[in-house]
Amino acid sequence: MRKLALISTTIITAAVLSAAPISIKWAADKNLSVSQDKAFAVVGRPATPGSVAGAHRRHERREYRRHTY
């Protein structure tokens, strides 16, 4: 029974850590730290794929590769 509880706890912990944007880091001075990851996606800048300019460049590049004008 104890082995089953340990396995299920391990599986649940692995599922939570893989689904949540959380990082667990081990440092010598702090021992163990848990931090939340942050993503900084900027849509609207010309170099980002989601911007209008990025979509236009992507369309032109694919059109050039396919030789369709």
pLDDT digits (tens, 9 = 90+) for 5-27: 999 999 998 887 777 777 777 77
For residue 8, the model assigns a pLDDT of 93
Residue 1 confidence (pLDDT) above 60:
yes
For residue 58, the model assigns a pLDDT of 79
Q: How do residues 21-59 score in pLDDT, each as one tens digit? A: 777 777 777 688 777 777 665 665 656 666 667 777 778
Q: What is the pTM of this model?
A: 0.35
- Name which of 12, 15, 37, 11 is nearest 24 in CA terms: 37
Rounded Cα gap, residues 50 and 42, in angstroms: 9
